[in-house]
Amino acid sequence: MAEHPALFSHLVAGLRKTREAFFDRITHLLTRPRLDPDALEELEEILITADLGMPTTRQLLDTIPPSISEPEELLHFLRDQVTDILSAPEQSIPEGHPHVALILGVNGVGKTTTIGKLAFRGIRQGKRVLLAAADTFRAAAIEQLQIWGQRAGAEVVAHQEGGDPAAVVFDALQASLAREMDLLLIDTAGRLHTKKNLMEELKKIGRVVSRNIPGAPHETLLILDATTGLNAAVQVREFHQLMGITGLIVTKLDGTAKGGSLIGIVGELQIPVRYVGFGEGIEDLAPFSPPAFAAALFSRETRPGFPSASTPIDLDTRDP
Ligand SMILES: Nc1nc2c(ncn2[C@@H]2O[C@H](COP(=O)(O)OP(=O)(O)OP(=O)(O)O)[C@@H](O)[C@H]2O)c(=O)[nH]1
Ligand SMILES: [Mg+2]
């Protein structure tokens, strides 16, 4: 599809910092003539520093076949392994009409911005998209979502600040049925996974959704800020335990060298990444495709055998 090459080069650009801190170090390491134990030790250090975490680092190192002696071969091997790790979790998404996606995460990770981007994407695909302003807690959160709604061309259901988020969600569910929406995106207030009462509020929202639309929410998406690195794993565990996270969206990849943490988190927790965000603009979001992500990390325009930024890579285009 026409958007793929452009989107891919956008992703390559967004991952620049991670690539510099991680894969450029690996390619530097590979200027050694042979893969001796010293080189492997250095590789281990690079992977750990890049926030892949111990289990995933070990997994990668332990699977390097002894037959590999050429540095270039190692790079190909690592790229394939990273693709495999990222592809491992099951990725099935139930159909729904409207398709209801509940968006969760700790404060400031990019939930509202991501909803704006997702809405824009859906509308560009010809969908009818409704947004639910269920962050009634933070001042100006409702207005912020309304601004994103305007930018994207999506309608917004909102109540007053301080209102009951579950009541907003109820109204939005009814409206999305009545107005025959294709996609309902529910914005929620940022909350720390350690705050019990706020986490209970999420459960209540979840109950309202499932009672009003059978099979919904079709997706419960946890937003992670890539700058948090591997420390975000605890958020995934806690939110998953409570709400059953079906997918992750990793934002702010453009501002961090810690993009490698995504590999560690997926490797360890086996929850698929659905989208990645790499900028504040409405188009700075790509559906997550493991081969495209691995290729973007390892892409070397001047190096033969590596996909360049202009190589069309099939980015996944599943809904929403
Ligand atoms: N560079 C960059 N900034 C981002 C990205 N996504 C979001 N942001 C910025 O992160 C900040 C917080 O974004 P919000 O969308 O308000 O985050 P939130 O999770 O809704 O925040 P709360 O509702 O307060 O919990 C804003 O300044 C966004 O512009 C991204 O992919 N890249
Ligand atoms: Mg928000």
* pLDDT of the residue at 304: 38
Ligand nearest to the CA of 279: 1
Distance 8 CA to ligand 1 centre (A): 22
For helices 71-87 and 54-62, the axis angle rounded to 10 degrees is 130
User: What are the pLDDT digits (tens) for 195-214?
Assistant: 888 999 999 999 999 999 99
Lowest-confidence pick of 68-72, 220-224, 263-267: 68-72
Task: Judge whether residue 57 has pLDDT over 50.
Answer: yes
Q: What is the pLDDT of residues 18-47, one digit of tens each?
A: 888 887 888 777 777 777 888 889 899 999
Q: Which residues line ligand 1 (CB under 6 A)?
A: 105, 107-113, 135, 138, 141, 190, 251-252, 254-255, 277-280, 284
Q: What is the pLDDT of residues 249-290, one digit of tens each?
A: 999 999 898 999 999 999 999 999 999 999 999 999 999 999
* CATH superfamily assigned to domain 99-289: P-loop containing nucleotide triphosphate hydrolases (3.40.50.300)
- N- to C-terminal Cα separation, the chain: 17
Mean pLDDT of the chain: 89
Q: Of all atoms in ligand 1, which is nearest to the CA of residue 279?
A: 32
- Distance in angstroms (rounded) separating the CA atoms of residues 38 and 21: 20
- pLDDT reported for residue 12: 84
Q: Which atom of ligand 1 is nearest to the CA of 187?
A: 20
Q: Which of 35-49, 74-88, 91-105, 112-126 has the lowest mean pLDDT?
A: 35-49
Q: How confident is the model at residue 4 (pLDDT cuts 50, 70, 90)?
A: low
Q: In this prediction, what percent of the chain has a pLDDT beyond 70? A: 92
Q: Is pLDDT above 60 for 320?
A: no
Domain ranges of the chain: 3-89, 99-289
Six-digit token string for 210: 């499932």
Between the alpha carbon of residue 254 and those of residues 154, 287, 289, the distances in Å are 26, 15, 17
Gap between the Cα atoms of 264 and 85, Å rounded: 9
User: Which atom of ligand 1 has the smallest separation from the CA of 251?
Assistant: 31
Which residue lies with its CA nearest to atom 10 of ligand 1? 110
Joined tokens for residue 263: 């590999």
φ and ψ of 286, to 5 deg: -130, 140
Q: What percent of the chain has pLDDT over 90?
A: 69
Q: Which of 104, 113, 273, 288 to mutate to test the pocket of ligand 1 (most atoms within 8 A of CB)?
A: 113
Q: What is the pLDDT of residue 36?
A: 81
- Looking at residues 56-76, what average pLDDT do you find? 87
> Which one is predicted more confidently, 165 or 311?
165
CATH node for 3-89? 1.20.120.140
Higher pLDDT, 8 or 222: 222
Question: Which position has the higher pLDDT, 2 or 109?
Answer: 109
Question: Closest ligand to 138 CA?
Answer: 1
Residue 224 pLDDT > 80, yes or no?
yes
Closest atom, ligand 1, to C-alpha of 278: 31
Mean pLDDT of 296-300: 73
